[in-house]
Amino acid sequence: MTKPLLLALAMGVATAALAAPPEPDSPSRAVYLQYCGACHGPAGKGDGIAGSFMTRKPTDLTAITRQNKGEFPYMHVMRVIDGRDTVRAHGDPDMPVWGEVFAENSSAPVGRRIEIQGKLMLLTDYIRSIQEK
């Protein structure tokens, strides 16, 4: 697959993802629970069992839109989850660099970017779906 085709495919998927948030009982919830629930909690409030052992409490993921003047910063959240684009200026991160974890577990070299982007988008879509008004 060529780079322009991969980019077009990724942009198409991203546009579709932005159009309709997932239902709370969707496959994106399962991905969220698998990768994020232990720290951020099943409802995204930052009260997961693993998070209780951390010095710094995990973020309340349900307040992101409220903290951003009513706008959900989709691409920023996706980059934070990915972790590879985030500047780590405040010391060692407690949150895993999921983009690297997903890359290590990727099965096909050609599909690696699509697979990683897909997981990042599922997580971001789910987080968007649990925002409190």
**Contacts for 92-97: CB closer than 8 Å, 24+ residues apart:** 94/39, 94/54, 94/55, 94/56, 94/58, 95/39, 95/58
Residue 27: its pLDDT value, please?
Answer: 87
Residue 9 belongs to some domain of the structure = no
Residue 118 belongs to some domain of the structure = yes
Query: Based on the number of CB atoms within 10 Å of its own CB, is 89 exposed (0-12), middle (13-18) or buried (19 or more)?
Result: exposed
- pTM for this one? 0.68
Report CA 40 to chain centroid distance, whole Å. 12
Residue 12 belongs to some domain of the structure = no
Residue 1 belongs to some domain of the structure = no
Give the N- to C-terminal CA distance of the chain in Å, as an integer.
41
Q: How many domains does the chain have?
A: 1
Residue 6 belongs to some domain of the structure = no
Nearest 10 degrees: Cα torsion 74, 75, 76, 82: 110
Domain span at 89: 24-129
Higher-confidence position of 107 and 48: 48
Residue 16 belongs to some domain of the structure = no
Q: Which two tokens stand for residue 22?
A: 């997932």
Residue 115 belongs to some domain of the structure = yes
Cβ-count burial 70-80 (b if 16+ within 10 Å, e if not): eebbbeebbbb
Residue 2 belongs to some domain of the structure = no
Mean pLDDT computed over every residue of the chain: 76
Residue 112 has pLDDT above 90, yes or no: no
